[in-house]
Amino acid sequence: MSRKMKWQSGGVAKWRNGPVPHRRILPFPPVAALVATLLVTTGLPLAGCRGDRSDNPPRQFFPDMDDQPRWKAQDRSEFFADGRTMRQPPQGAVAFGRSPVVADEPWAATYTLQRAQLLKDDARVYRGVDDSGNPLTTIPVEVTTALLDRGQNRFDIYCAACHGIKGDGKGLVGQTWSYPLPSFHDERFLPGGASGAEGHIFDVALHGFVGPTGRQLMPGYAHALTEHDAWAIVAYIRALQRANRAAIQDVPDSERTQLQGAPRPAPAAEGGS
């Protein structure tokens, strides 16, 4: 018997006689599958980008070390027994430097100085004392123009407010202090004076001064000054002392005329005669 097909509305075909044949299911087109995969792959990361501000936490697909635990400097920690986040180096640790560079060439002077400042193995330079532990009566580093300039810069920033620009104890803060501040030009602060040893001034600049009654009369500035800065300040104080007691004969001839106020020669008239 022949099979006949009747078309109905909507284009749906039905078989009048005989069994309905099985439909053949074609495989999903590979191009469409690739497009769908790309859409899903690119859509997931974009879901974490809202495009606007939000108080909600961001979606992190690869957080890596973004959320690692950390502490701030000088913060308290419940992890360590002493409650401090900042740790001391292990006993026996040897400071090397901030750079692995080891050279005696002039270009490496900065790295060599940094390494020496970390080691601090010279008591004369880094503690201001001799082999017997007594304050030095000399400056153990080379006194150069650059050192004096550095000393003036640090003195003006950290010392002059109390001790005055001239070192006479008449700074703006010093004049309003609860007690008179000493002048570096007093005999006791000069070389050979009771408080005039270079090593003593160096120590006071870094660690402050405690009076006979145990009262802190001056704070230390080790948080802001290096040991070389402290020696620069000592050298500059010696320069102030010498300038305060100097005579006009001590001034070089090239500067003496200007200090004495001699009139300068008048400039030549324009156009000539």
* Same domain flag for 141 and 105: no
Share of the chain above pLDDT 90, in %: 40
* Same domain flag for 114 and 192: no
Using one digit for the tens of pLDDT, what is the confidence trace for 176-229?
Answer: 988 889 899 999 999 999 999 999 999 999 999 998 888 889 999 999 999 999
Residues 28, 192: Cα–Cα separation, whole Å: 100
* Same domain flag for 177 and 220: yes
Output the pLDDT for position 179: 84
* Residue 174 resides in a domain: yes
- State how far the alpha carbon of 153 is from the alpha carbons of 33, 116, 193, in Å: 73, 23, 26
Go through 244-272 and write b for each residue having 16 or more CB atoms within 10 A of its CB, e for each that does not: eeeeeeeeeeeeeeeeeeeeeeeeeeeee
Output the pLDDT for position 8: 44
Go through 107-135 and write b for each residue having 16 or more CB atoms within 10 A of its CB, e for each that does not: eeeebbebbbbeeeeeeebbbbbeeeeeb
Residues 85, 136: Cα–Cα separation, whole Å: 37
* Same domain flag for 184 and 245: yes
* Same domain flag for 113 and 135: no
* Residue 143 resides in a domain: yes
* Same domain flag for 110 and 214: no
Tokens matching residue 2: 């022949």
- State how far the alpha carbon of 227 is from the alpha carbons of 107, 153, 205, 251, 263, in Å: 22, 15, 9, 31, 44
Provide the pLDDT confidence category of residue 3 given band limits of 50, 70 and 90. very low
CB atoms within 10 A of CB 202: 25
Using one digit for the tens of pLDDT, what is the confidence trace for 34-91?
Answer: 777 777 676 666 655 556 677 887 777 777 777 777 788 888 888 889 998 888 888 8
Using one digit for the tens of pLDDT, what is the confidence trace for 116-136?
Answer: 888 888 999 999 999 999 999
- Quote the number of domains for the chain: 2
* Residue 48 resides in a domain: no
Tell me, letter by letter, the H, E, C secondary structure of 154-195: HHHHHCHHHHCCCCCCCCCCHHHCCCCCCCCCCHHHCCCCCC
Residue of 137, 114, 110, 131 whose CA lies nearest to 202 = 137
Domain that holds residue 100: 95-126
Output the pLDDT for position 140: 97
* Same domain flag for 180 and 226: yes
* Same domain flag for 122 and 138: no
* Same domain flag for 143 and 99: no
* Same domain flag for 188 and 237: yes
Output the pLDDT for position 42: 67
* Same domain flag for 138 and 238: yes
Does residue 253 surpass a pLDDT of 90? no
Output the pLDDT for position 162: 94
* Residue 8 resides in a domain: no
Angle at which helices 227-245 and 109-119 pack, to 10 degrees? 100
> For the chain, what's the residue count?
273
Output the pLDDT for position 234: 98
Q: Judging by DSSP bridges, how do beta strands 216-218 and 209-210 pair with one another?
A: antiparallel
CB contact set of 89 (below 8 Å; sequence gap of 6+): 95
